[in-house]
Structure 1
Amino acid sequence: MQDAGWDKAQAGRLDVESVDVLFRAAGGTTGCSRWSAAASEVGFEHCPPLKPFPARRGKRLAPGWWWSATTGRLVHYGSAAMRLHVMLLDRDSRVSDLAARPLELRWCEPSGVRAHAPQLMLRLADGQGVLADCTAGAELSQRQRSLAAVIAEICAAVGWQYWVLGPVDPVYRRNVIWLAGYRHPRHHGGQQLAAALLEAFSESAPLWEGVRRIGIGCVNLTADLGC
C-alpha cells in the first residue's frame, strides 16, 4: 500500500463540505447525497457497482467476478491488478466487507466539476471505511498523485482512509493465488467429514457399524455440497 498524502497543496484548496457522492440505491435507482452525511449513513459495502468495468481491446484479462469468502458473494474487478488486490483483501483479517466501485465522488475545482469512482470500498473490522484504487506500476504519474491527494483529503474529512494498492512481492502473490482456490465452500467437505468421523466413533462400536454411519454421512454430505 502506498501513502496517498502527496501534493497536499493541491488538496488543501478543496471544500470538502461541498463534495457529493453518487451510489446505487435500493430498487436500482441512483442516489446523490452530501458525502459528509452519506459516509456514516449509507452502507456502501452492500451497494452494487455504480459503473461496470468495460472490456478493453488488447488487454489480456477481461473484467470478471471474484467469489469472496469474506462477504460470501461475488466482487467485480476490472483489471489484473484489481483482481490481485481483491484476492489479497479477501484474506486480510482487518477487512470485514468489500465492494467494487459502489460510489462516485464529485467536487468542484476552479477548472470545473471533477469526479472519481474509486475501484474498491472496504469496511474494516473496527467499522472504519476505506476507499482504494489499484495500480500495477510502482510509481504514480503527477496527475495520479494529485488525484490521490484530493481523495485522501475527502476520506480523512469523514474519518475514512484512502489506499493506493501497488505491486506485490511475486513469491507472496503466487502463494496467495494457490491458497485462494481453497476458500470456496466446495472445499470445506474435508472439515465436515472429519467431524462426521469423530461423531461416528465417539462411542465404542464395531468397526463396520462406524463405517456404515460414515457411509450414510457421506451421502448426506455429498448432497449438501451439490455433488
Structure 2
Amino acid sequence: MGTTEARTVRAVYRRAGDQLVEVGLDQLSVEEVAAGQPVREFRWYRGRKHYSGWYHAASTGRLVAYESRLELARILLADFDPGVVKIAAQPFQLIGPDGDRLRHHVPDLFLVHADGLVTVVDVKAPSRMKDSKVIAQFDWTRQLCSRRGWVYETWSGAEPTVVENVRFLAGYRRRRLLEVSLVPQVLETARCQSTIGGIEAALAAKYPTEAVLPVVLHLLWSGDLLAELRAPLSRATSIRAAA
C-alpha cells in the first residue's frame, strides 16, 4: 500500500450514543472507539452456527460482545491482563483501496493499554490462518495499524490449560461478591503458605472454605496472588504474593 492509498482509507465506528461516524483513519479517535459500541450489529437466531454473547469485563465494567468461543477466549485473556484498561469489540470498519480492489474489514477487538499502547486484534480459527484471502486481509490491516502506531495481532488460540484456568478464575472476577474483609488476611497468610490448600487450612479455624477459597481465586484473577497457569489449578497449586 502506498502513502497516497493509505490517506484515502476511511474508518466507520459507532459512538456510545449509537451514532455512526465516518472519518479518515488518521482522525480516528482512540477514546471514542474504546467507549463506543460494536460497529456491526449482532444477530441471534435459531440454528446459528457461531456462539455469540456478551461478556462483562471486570477491567472496564462494560459488556463486550463476541461472535465465537475463540473470540471470548481472547477477551478473557485481555480482561485478565492487568495492562489492558479498555476493551472494545467490532470497534470500527476500515474501508479503503488495496491494490486494485476496495477492501472492507471489521477487526474483532480493540485493546487500550495502561501505557497508551493500542492493540488491534483479528481472531481466526487455526484452520483459516493460512488461507490466502485471510493473509491478504491481515497484511492490509497490519499496514494500516502501523500507520497509526498501533500493534496488530492475529490470534488463533493460546495454550488450552492457560485459557481454561483464566476462564475458571473469571468466575471470581467480581469483587463485590466476595467476603472483602478477608482479603488482607488471605494476602498475609499467602506470605507463609505456599499453596491454595495451605491458605485454606491455615484459615480454617476461623473461616469456612466457602468464604476463603473465592477470595484466593479472586486474588489470583486480580494479580495480587500469582500462580503457574500452564498446569491445571488445584488445591496443590503453588502460589505467591505479588511483589
TM-score, normalising length: structure 2: 0.68
**Which residue of 70, 76, 79 corresponds with 2:59?**
70
Partner residue, 2:42:
53
The residue correspondences of 1:4-83 to structure 2 (distance < 5 A) are 11=1, 15-25=5-15, 27-39=17-29, 42-55=31-44, 57=47, 59=49, 62-83=51-72
Distance change (3 Å), C-alpha of 1:195 and 1:171: closer
| Alpha-carbon separation, structure 1, partners of 2:108 and 2:56 | 17
**Which residue of 169, 174, 180 corresponds with 2:159?**
169
- Sequence identity of aligned pairs in percent? 27
1:129-183 CA-partner distances (Å, limit 9, x unpaired): 2211112316331111111011010010011111111121111122111111000
| Alpha-carbon separation, structure 1, partners of 2:155 and 2:141 | 14
Asked if 1 retains the 8 angstrom alpha-carbon contact of 2:38 and 2:91, the reply is: yes
Distance change (3 Å), C-alpha of 1:142 and 1:193: same
Matched, 1:157 2:129: no
Matched, 1:108 2:108: no
Partner residue, 1:127:
116
Pairs aligned (count)? 183
Q: Aligned partner of 2:133: which letter?
A: R
Distance change (3 Å), C-alpha of 1:158 and 1:58: closer
Structure 2: runs of 5+ lacking an equivalent: 186-243
Q: Aligned partner of 1:62: which letter?
A: Y
TM-score, normalising length: structure 1: 0.72
**Which residue of 138, 141, 146 corresponds with 2:131?**
141
Asked if 2 retains the 8 angstrom alpha-carbon contact of 1:55 and 1:62, the reply is: no
Deviation at 1:25, TM superposition (A): 2.8
Partner residue, 1:92:
81
1:100-149 CA-partner distances (Å, limit 9, x unpaired): 11211110235442110101111011112221111231633111111101
| Alpha-carbon separation, structure 2, partners of 1:26 and 1:65 | 16
Q: Aligned partner of 2:102: which letter?
A: V
Task: Answer with 108-117 or 122-131: which moved more.
Answer: 108-117
Q: Aligned partner of 1:32: which letter?
A: E
Q: Which protein has the larger Cα radius of gyration, Structure 1 or Structure 2?
A: 1
| Alpha-carbon separation, structure 2, partners of 1:50 and 1:186 | 31
- State the Cα RMSD in Å: 2.3
Matched residue of 1:28: which SS? coil
